[in-house]
Amino acid sequence: MGKPRVIYWFRTDLRLHDSPALKAALDLDPAVLWPVFTWDPHYVYRVKGGVNRWQYLLDCQNDLSESIQKLNSKSKLFVLREAPQTLFPKLFKAWNVTHLVFEKDTDAYAKERDKVVIALAEKAGVQVITRSGRTLWDSDELVAKHGGKPTMSITQLQAAGRKVGQIPRPIPAPTYLPDPGDMPVEFEQDKPDAEPDLNATHRGGNDKTYANIAGPNGDFAIATLQELGFSAEEASTPHRGGETIALKRLQEIFADEEYAATFQKPKTNPAAFEPQSTTLLSPMLHFGALSPRLFYWRAQDLVEKYGKGASTPPESLTGQLLFRDMYFAAQAAIGPPFAQTLNNSYCRFIPWHLPSKAEATDAGSTAVSGSYHVDSPQAERWFRRWKAGATGFPFVDALMRQLRAEGWIHHLGRHAVACFLTRGGCYVHWERGADVFEEWLLDHEPACNAGNWQWLSCTAFYSQYFRCYSPVAFGQKWDRKGEFVRRWVPELRGLDERFIYEPWKASRAALDKAGVRIEGDGLGGGEDGTYPAPMFDFAERRSACMAAMKRAYSIGLYGNDDRVKDGTWKELFEKAGETEMEGLDGGSDDDDDGKHADDAEYRKERGIGAGKHVRSQSAATKEGPMDRFAKKLRT
C-alpha cells in the first residue's frame, strides 16, 4: 500500500501557523498533498457580501498561497471553481485521493455541507480527518459539557471550558510541505444556478466565477474581483488581509505591553480613527489568517507577566476571544434558528417593524429568507435612512458611513447604531440590521453577528433594555469636538462644535457660516452643503420603545412559541394595549441620557440602578438571557 495522497481543504483557516488540521495532514507523511480551496456557490451567491469583504478574502488567499510557495516552490493554494458537494467525488477518482483533511466549521450551512462531503468521501473509500481550530475550544465539546445547551453568558462558557480542559497552546507553522500530485480536471464541471444572487447589486453583470473549473488560465490561480463580477474600484477599504499582516500586527500590539495587558474594551474610543483604538484583528480571525489560540496565549501570558493592574475578562483581550467562543458555542447548540427569532427558543419575541419573511432556504425549511414585510412605510424610511447614514443624527451617520466605506467600525459604535435601529428609536427588527452588517462587515461571523444583534436588541444574552445609547450624548462622551463626525460627515465639517452633534439646534447664522442647510431626508442625493433633519425626536422615540419593550417582556413570548408561529401573538399584545406610540416611561430617574450606556463601572460607582424599575431588572439580568424576565402573563 502506497503512502497517503492527501487533499487539504482550506476554508476559514487561511494560515499556516497553529493549524491542528494541517498538522494532522502532515502527520500522515503523505506522498503528495494538494492545498485546495473551492468556490462554494452558497457563499458566492446566497450569502451577502460587499466588495470590501471579497477583497479581504482574496488578500488572505494570495498571502497564504505565497507562504505555501515559500515552503515548496512546486505548490501553492490551488483554487477550483465548483461546489464541493459535486467537485470532491470527481477529484477523489481523478487524483487517486486517499485522505481529505479540513478544519471543523460550526456555521449552520457548513455543518450540513460537510456531512454531505464526508458521506461522499466514505462512499469513495477516502478517509476524512477533521480538527478543531477556529475557536479556543471545540464548540461541540463545549455544548456537550454544558448539557447540550447553548452558552448564553461568559460565565457559562468558562464553566463549560473548564470541563473541556485547558485551551490548547498554539503549534508552530510547518517548515515544509510535500509536492502536489498531478491535477487532471478532464471531467464535466457542474456549474451552479446563480439565481438568486444576493450580491447582484455589487456585480457589474460580468460574473465569470464558474467559467472554467481551474480559472481563466487553467492554472488554479486565485480569483480576481473582476472574475467574480466585481469592480476593483468599489473596494474602498484601507484594511488588507493575510496571515503575514496579521502576525505583524499581533507583534506590534504586544510590543506595547501596557496597552495589551491593561486593555479594556469599554474604555476604548469608538470615535478614534487613524489609528483606531482597538486591534482590528477580528477580520483576520474570521478568515482564519490569525489563530485565536495564538492570540489568546500571547495575551494571557502577558497578563500573568504584567501582574497587578492587568485587565480581566470580559473587558480584556482574552475576554473578547471568550465572547467569540460563547457565540460560536451558542450557535453550535441551537443550530440554524440561532441567526433568527423564528424557532429560536432563546430569543425573545418582540413585534418589531419590518419583520422577516420565512421560506425554505439552505439553512432550514423555516428559516428567515433575508426579505421582509414592510408593515410600516415610516419604519421602512427610517431603515433606509439608517443604512444610508442619513438619519439626521451625525454620530450615527458617521458610523454608518464608515462601515459602508471601510467594512469596519468600533465595537461600541456597533452598539450605538444597533440600539438606535432597534429598541432605541426605530423599533425595526434586529434581523434587518444583521442583514446590513452581513453585507458590509469585513469581520462578519454569522454567530457573532446574530449574537451581538440579539444582545443589543435585548432579545437574548442581555435584558437591560432601559439602558439606551443616546445618538448625541454617547458621541459627545468620546469626542467633544466632533472630529470623527467631521471626518465622515463632511457636509458638517465647518460647523461649530457646540452644534456638531445636534445641527438642528444651530442658529441660521451658525449654519450659514458653516455653509450648511438642514433639509430633506438624505435619500435623494441632496446638494452640497445639505444635511437631513433628524428622523424623529429621540427622547419621544426612546420612551415609546422602552414602553413597548416593557410590555413585550411582560408578555414573555420566545421565537419557538406556537403563538409566534401562527400569528396569534397579536391578540396578546392588542389585549395588553400595545400601541408602541403611547410614550410610557420605561426608564428610571437615574437615566444618564445614554452617555454611559456601555459603561457598567460608571453606573456602579454612582449607585445607578437603585430605582424600583432597575432593581427588578438586575435580578433577572444575573440569571442571563435564559431567565424569564417576567412570568408569561396571559391576561
Reduce the secondary structure of 413-433 to three states and give it as a string: HHHHHHHHHCCCCCCECHHHH
625: pLDDT strictly greater than 60: no
434: pLDDT strictly greater than 60: yes
Q: In angstroms, what CA-CA distances link 128 with 94, 99, 125, 266, 541?
A: 17, 6, 10, 43, 55
Q: Mean pLDDT over residues 186-213, rounded?
A: 93
DSSP secondary structure string, 101-133?
EEE---SHHHHHHHHHHHHHHHHTT-EEEEE--
Q: Which domains does the chain have, with CATH numbers?
A: 1-133+200-227 (3.40.50.620), 244-334 (1.25.40.80), 336-471+539-622 (1.10.579.10), 479-531 (no CATH)
> What does the pLDDT look like over 249-297, one tens digit per residue?
999 999 999 999 999 999 999 998 888 889 999 999 999 999 999 999 9
Cis peptide leading into 196, omega within 30 of 0?
Answer: yes
b/e burial code for range 67-88 (CB count within 10 A of at least 16 → b): bbeeebeebbbbbbbbbbbbbb
Say how far apart CA 417 and CA 424 lie, in whole Å: 9
485: pLDDT strictly greater than 50: yes
Q: Mean pLDDT over residues 436-451, rounded?
A: 97
161: pLDDT strictly greater than 60: yes
Q: Which of 27, 41, 18, 209 is nearest to 109 (CA)?
A: 41
The count of other CB atoms within 10 Å of the CB of residue 435 is: 21
607: pLDDT strictly greater than 60: no
615: pLDDT strictly greater than 70: no
Phi, psi of 357 (to 5 degrees): -85, 150
The type of residue at 20 is P
Q: What's the chain's length in residues?
A: 635
Q: In angstroms, what CA-CA distances link 305 with 257, 294, 297?
A: 10, 17, 12
2: pLDDT strictly greater than 90: no
Mean pLDDT over each residue of the chain, to the nearest integer:
90
* Per-residue model confidence (pLDDT) at position 585: 31
58: pLDDT strictly greater than 90: yes
Say how far apart CA 632 and CA 188 lie, in whole Å: 58
617: pLDDT strictly greater than 50: no
Q: Which residue has the higher pLDDT, 524 or 80?
A: 80
Q: Mean pLDDT over residues 327-341, rounded?
A: 96
Over pLDDT 90: what percentage of the chain?
A: 85
The count of other CB atoms within 10 Å of the CB of residue 59 is: 23
Say how far apart CA 342 and CA 550 lie, in whole Å: 21
Q: Mean pLDDT over residues 66-80, rounded?
A: 98
Per-residue pLDDT band for 524 (boundaries 50, 70, 90) equals confident
> What does the pLDDT look like over 118-137, one tens digit per residue?
999 999 999 999 999 999 99
Tell me the three cell numbers of residue 141: 465539546
Q: Which of 72-76, 134-138, 400-404, 591-595 has the lowest mean pLDDT?
A: 591-595
Per-residue pLDDT band for 320 (boundaries 50, 70, 90) equals very high
Q: Which of 33-37, 40-44, 508-512, 586-590 has the lowest mean pLDDT?
A: 586-590
Q: Mean pLDDT over residues 353-380, rounded?
A: 77
Q: Mean pLDDT over residues 95-114, rounded?
A: 95
* Per-residue model confidence (pLDDT) at position 577: 85
611: pLDDT strictly greater than 50: no
* Per-residue model confidence (pLDDT) at position 505: 96
